[in-house]
Every structure is written in structure tokens, then in C-alpha cells.
Structure 1
């Protein structure tokens, strides 16, 4: 019987039992992709990350699984993994190979030398108009009010569709019809509200096995691009994105986009993470 050590970290928070948990399997070299999928289902977290030896220019390679599928990239599990790996990685930067390319993390340590936060340079998203917007708005019960911005889909690994709300109370009162959302394949529905440098986000994705996510790092980068492209957030400045409040898992993500509405040069997402458990899986 093989043994696999893993760590659970709460991501985009520095408070245990807040933010979004992820399980990080520290040495997954003996696991097949099918077994990784089974383990992710067993963990029953929005994402589980498996650390492997690098194949190209990274310090490590990772594979990321939701309870129902593998993702080429995701934000909160990779940032959580970077903070966990910082325990044994002494350099200031960590390069992580994903199916979307190598992602660089800048590690932040406290006075005792413990890694407590990280900032990542995310894969640049591509975007287009979402062709099933009417169905999505119906699922969100927003057929009459619509979205404050064009309903567009951004692909940076996961596919995020964004719907703008008039204000935070309207955002908090959303009760999506998960049955309709489940008919929209390979997408996460993200609803946002706010202004300037302060925003709130909610993410729903039956397609990725997540009823509602507590902190979606890949969406934080994509929504920052969406807001900046449409003139609602500044290029070159950090914005704060709060998520998870409605489900009792408050999280804080920071995002910054450089470029222009027609050319995005870089997308950064930053936040804290805290280890809450260490365990061994027998398989």
C-alpha cells in the first residue's frame, strides 16, 4: 500500500477556516491521472493539486483536478501550492509548470522566514462574447435587468463568464438555478459588483463540480482584465476582490493588469495562504 503526504491550505486568507481550501499532494509521482481524479473526488474540494518533478523550465510541475475534471490552470490551488512549497524552496521565486505554461510566483515570507503569501503572473486570457448569455441570465434570474457590462467569456485555463450587477446587495441576494447552469458546459459563471479599486465576486460552476466557490484566483485575474478593458478599474494598479462572504468563507484576492484595452501585457494575482492540516493518504 502506497502512502502520499498532503497538506491542506486555506487560500486567499491568513485566517484558518476562511478563504478557499486546497489539498496539495507533495510527491505525486506514483499516481496515474485516473487515480488523481479519484483522489480529488475523495477530497471533495473545489481543486486538488498534485506536485510532480519538472519537465521543462520549472522548479516543479503540477496537475490540477476538480472533483469532476482536470484543469490546465487554476489560481487558488497553485497559489496555495506555492505557499506550501515555500517551506522547502529557499529562493524568492518559484516557477511552476502547468498545462497552460510555466507560472512564476514571487514568495513573501514573514520575519520568521515562513512563506505566508505569494503573487503569480497568470496566463494571459483570451476573450470573446459569450454566445449563451440569454440562458445564463435566465439561470441567474437576471433576464429583466441584464448585465452592467457585455457578457463575455475569458479563457485562461478555466472558462470564466462575467455578469455585472448594479450593487453588492443585488449580488448577495443571487440564488442561481443550478439546474440551468449545469446545462452550460465548461464554464464558470462569475457575478461581480463594486467600483474603483474595491470589488465583490461570486462564482458558480456545476460544470466544474463547484456549487459556489469561496475564492477563484483564475477569475480574479480575468475579472481584472474585464474591468480594465471596459474602463471600470485602472490599468497598472492593484484592485481588491472579495469573495466567499455569502457562504461563510471570506477571502481577499488582489489583482493587477498592465497594458491597454486592446493589448494585455501582464496579469498578476496575489494573496495569502495558511496551512491548516497535514495528512497521509493510503492507496
Structure 2
């Protein structure tokens, strides 16, 4: 028997965010056990908490699997959901409002605040992004897969933050909601380039964006609300930001409308770092027999 929570992330309203399955103590599970459980939960990600390599540096270590059995080096909403599950269970406590998560991508710094209603907001610092622009032929190919015109003033780019997302800016938020990609072609495209998936975004106004994330090669046609995807979008926006970065820039992202969800992600960036944050709520808890 292993303790289990299913946590809805980027929402305070159950069943409106993006769920992640969290196995609280996976220290006795094999990698094959983890793959089997991730396949069974059939959520975009399932996380497995194990002791950190160095407990003086990290508070816990997490392994992240998708239904297909692939292990991810890092993912956004599983990071927030796992931290929330451990905080709620009393297994970890912040030190001066800080936590450190160990994962395949390295050490991830988290900031934790709790308001007067005992509601946590958890922010993580995105790993330093590596941005690679697409060439014209590649842009035309992804435009055909999307069936939507692309804003070429912000060149579509592969953003590597552990997961590798292709980030594409469309005309506006409505264009994002209306997009209807060919998932078979997208899956083949992503496998060819070794991508986790495609993130598209459009602006409502200068501080509010709509995002959608597609990952058919990982077994998830559309991720309801994606932390690493939003971080990758923020990375591209920052690369084209034409104002001072002496003070933090704040963005509000919404995601999931097409899937009947209502995710809200708090984004901020400076020239030195990108922070992604939000809330979470536990929907299911119990034990898994294994």
C-alpha cells in the first residue's frame, strides 16, 4: 500500500485545473512499478516522491512519468502539485518560505506563501531556457499542422526547459481558442524533432494571454493547464520584450477553456529568472495497492 493523492493544479476549484497523481512515498517502487502506475492513472503526469540525493540541499526528490512510460526531466504542474501534496500532508515544511525539489533536470527552487485562509500559492523558478528559432520551412510545416496563420514577428522557437516545447504565437487569444491542429501530423513532427509538444499562445491585452499545450507524442493530445509550457511561452515573450527588465514583469495566463477547464497561471520574469505559480486543491486521496 502506498499513499496517493490526486491534486488539481492551477485552480482553487476542484476539477477545473490540471490533475496530477502524486505517490507520496515511492521509495520501495521499481521504475517498472512507476511506469505501470502512470499508465493506469492515465493522467498527463504521475509523480513519485523519493528521498533526495542530498537532504542538506533538497527537501525531496521527484520522478515524473507520462502514460506512455516516458520519464520527464521536469514538468510544471506536477512540481506545484507534488509540493502541495507534501505540504498538505505535513511531510515537508518551507524554510523561510522556500523549498528545493530535486528532479532529473536538477534542483528546482520553489517559493511558498500561505494567506490568512490557509491557502498556499506555490511558485517555481523555471530552469534556464535554451531557445532555438525555427527556419522558414519549419514554420510553414507547423503552420500547415495547425491550420492557423502564425505571427512571424515573434519567430516560432523550440524552448528547452527540460521538456522541449515548440512555442508559437498566434494573432490573438481567440485564434488560440479556435485552433484545431492535426494531432497525427503533430505527433510525427514532434517525434522527428524530439519535442515534448507544441504550445500556442495569443494576447488578450498586454498582460493577459491564452495558452494551449499539445503533446500527442507523450500520449496527451491536449494538456489542460501546463506549467512548463507556460514557462516556455514566457521565455519567448521575454526574448522579444522591448522594455526595461529592471523590475519584474507580470503576466496572467488562462488555459483549458476548450476542455471545459479554467486554469489560472501567474507568470513573472526579469532578465535573470522566470517564475511560474498558482494554487492547488486535493480532489482524491487514499492508497494504491501494489
TM-score higher than 0.5 here?
yes
Counterpart-to-counterpart distance in 1, 2:110 and 2:63: 16
TM-score normalised by L of structure 2: 0.90
Counterpart-to-counterpart distance in 1, 2:106 and 2:125: 11
- Are 2:166 and 1:161 aligned? yes
Give secondary structure in 2 for the equivalent of 1:256.
Answer: strand
Counterpart-to-counterpart distance in 2, 1:12 and 1:116: 11
**1:1-283 → structure 2 map (5 Å cutoff):** 3-56=1-54, 57-68=57-68, 69-87=70-88, 88=90, 89-91=92-94, 92-111=97-116, 114=118, 116-130=120-134, 132-142=138-148, 145-148=149-152, 149-184=154-189, 185=191, 186-194=195-203, 195-231=205-241, 235=245, 236-259=248-271, 265-283=272-290
Counterpart-to-counterpart distance in 2, 1:178 and 1:162: 16
Q: Is the 8 A contact 2:159 2:235 kept in 1?
A: no
Q: Is the 8 A contact 1:84 1:115 kept in 2?
A: no
CA deviations 1:134-161 (Å, max 9, x no partner) are 322211013xx33342110001111111
Q: Which runs of 5+ in 2 are unaligned?
A: none
Give secondary structure in 2 for the equivalent of 1:254.
Answer: strand
Q: Is the 8 A contact 2:213 2:223 kept in 1?
A: yes
Q: Which runs of 5+ in 1 are unaligned?
A: 260-264
Counterpart-to-counterpart distance in 1, 2:150 and 2:115: 45
CA gap 1:234/1:36 in 2 versus in 1, 3 angstroms: farther
Q: Is the 8 A contact 1:224 1:233 kept in 2?
A: no
Alignment RMSD (CA, Å): 1.6
Higher deviation after alignment, 20-29 or 168-177: 168-177
Tell me by how many angstroms 1:90 deviates: 2.8
CA gap 1:121/1:210 in 2 versus in 1, 3 angstroms: same
Structure with the higher fraction of residues in helix conformation: 2
Counterpart-to-counterpart distance in 1, 2:37 and 2:150: 39
Counterpart-to-counterpart distance in 2, 1:208 and 1:232: 35
